[in-house]
Amino acid sequence: MTDKRDIQFTLNGKHYAEAVETRFSLADMLREQLDMTGTHLGCEHGVCGACTVLCDGEPVRACLMLGVQANGKEIITIEGLADGDELSPIQAAFRKHHGLQCGYCTPGFLTTLTAFLRDHPDPTEREIREAISGNICRCTGYQNIVAAALDAAEAMRAA
């Protein structure tokens, strides 16, 4: 029942060596084994995007990837977006534009947009909406999230 594999990976810049149950999703590993609870589970079937983390820089669903698949990878979660006490541009923009209400889906939006803005420094509103079309938010109606992403892109270009 508890078949485990030894794996090594980097999480938010820190090296880990862990024995992980083979049936653990990456989200299970982060939340249950490492107590990194910033990554949230919204649907556990890969649609809502709340559990999105960055794996080697690309957004992935932590509910659809197995923990053992993190072997040799570099994982970034919501806990790793800020530089110490300094919020990343997209985090700061979410606060400024009221881009979150309950905050539960927010980690997935922030990780998704972190990768998107890195690759698309000057996006249109439409492109941002496409980029977050795999993330569901029940509270905000998305408008302030889009506004935050546009603002963060501008701030990043100016930096």
Partner 1 sequence: MGARYFGAEVQRGEDEALITGKGQYVDDIRLAGTLHGAFLRSPHAHAVIKSIDKSAAEKMPGVAAVFTYADLEEPVNQQQVQPYPNPNIRQDIRPYPLAKDEVCFVGEAVAFIVADTRHIAEDALALIDVEYDILEPVVNLRDAISEAAPIAHRGSPDNLVSQLKISYGEIDNAFEKADQLFKTDFLQHRGGCHAMEGRGVIAQYDPILESFTIWSATQCPYLVRRSLASQFELPESRIRVIANDVGGGFGPKAGFYIEEIITPWAARKLGRPIKWIEDRREHFLTTNTQRDTWWELEIAVTAKGRIEGVRGSVITDNGAYIPYGLLLPFTTMAPFPGPYKVLALDLTQDVVYTNTVSNSPVRGAGRPNAAYAMERVIETVARNLKIDPAEVRRRNFIQKDDFPYKTGLIHFNGRPMTYDSGDYHALLEKALELADYDGFAARQAEARKENRYLGIGVSSCIEDTGMGPYEGVSVRVDPRGQVYVSSGAASQGQGHKTILRQIVADELSVDIEKIHVEIGDTGKFPQGVGTVGSRVGVNIGTAAYSAATEVKTKALALAAEILEADLNNLEIEDGIIRDRGRSNITISLGEIALQLAPMAGAAIPEGHTASLEATSFDASKGPPHASGSNVCEVEVDLGTGEVKLLNYSVAHDCGRKINPLIVEGQIIGGVVHGIGNALFEEMIYDENGQPQNTNYGEYLLPIATEMPQINIVHQETPSPLNPLGLKGAGEGGTIPAANAVIAAIENALEDFGVVVDKYPIHPERLCELIDQGRMSEAAE
> DSSP for 76-127?
E-GGGSSBTTBPPHHHHHHHHTT--SS-SSHHHHHHHHHHHHHH-SS--HHH
Interface stretch with partner 1, choices 3-11, 65-73, 94-102, 150-158 (CB under 8 A): 94-102
Is the Cβ–Cβ distance between 96 and 151 less than 8 Å?
A: yes
Q: Which is nearer to partner 1, 18 or 72 (CB)?
A: 18
* Residue 86 interacting with partner 1 (CB under 8 A): no
Contacts of partner 1 in 56-75 (CB under 8 A): none
- Out of 71, 74, 79, 120, the only residue in the binding site for partner 1 (CB under 8 A) is 79
* Residue 124 interacting with partner 1 (CB under 8 A): no
Q: How far apart, in whole angstroms, are the C-alpha atoms of residue 64 and residue 128?
A: 24
Contacts of partner 1 in 17-36 (CB under 8 A): 21, 23, 28, 31-32, 35-36
